[in-house]
Structures are given as structure tokens and as C-alpha cells.
Homo-oligomer: A and B are copies of this chain.
């Protein structure tokens, strides 16, 4: 089975997010006073082949810990759905 994963990786809430802060300030400068609390992270999509959804989640968690995120400064969440093959 083939699954498509959509992963959000965000700086932990307890940490400063300098990029997000810079964008928040730029928003004010160009007239978007109603926008605040900008936080910037990564969005990753990928395909994963596995025998079951459970197995796919297990491997995906491993990949997130080993290569996709830095758990000291980032948290992640994801959704996983089966890929419909095109015919």
C-alpha cells in the first residue's frame, strides 16, 4: 500500500521564532495591522510504501526523528492517507 503523508514541522511554542517575528513586523509595516502571532515552520509531503497504515506511521515517526526534524527545537504532526493509484 502506498500512503501520502502531509507533515507540519513547527518551532516549539516555548521557543522564539525569529523568522516568524520578522514577518509579523513586516506585516505591520506594509499595512497588515490585523495580522499577528506569525509562526513559520516547514510543510513536507512524501510518499511511503507500507503493508499497513500502522506500519507506515511507525516508519514515518522514525523518519521524523532521524532526519526530518530536530526534536530539541521543533515539534511535528502529520496526516496520512492512502494514495489512490491513477488508472
Q: Is the CB of A23 within 8 A of B59?
A: no
A47 touching B63, Cβ below 8 Å: no
Which of the residues B27, B36, B67 comes within 8 Å of A23, measured between beta carbons?
Answer: B67
- A30 touches which of B10, B32, B39, B67 (Cβ 8 Å): B67
**B46 to A9, Cβ gap below 8 A?**
no
The verdict on A16 contacting chain B, using a C-beta distance below 8 Å, is no
- Indicate if A42 sits at the interface (CB-CB under 8 A): yes
Q: Which residues of B contact A23 (CB under 8 A)?
A: 44, 67-68
Contact of A46 among B35, B43, B44, B47 (CB under 8 A): B35
Instruction: Report which of B27, B50, B62 forms a contact with A67, defined as CB distance below 8 A.
Output: B27
State the Cβ distance, A53 to closest chain B Cβ, in Å. 13
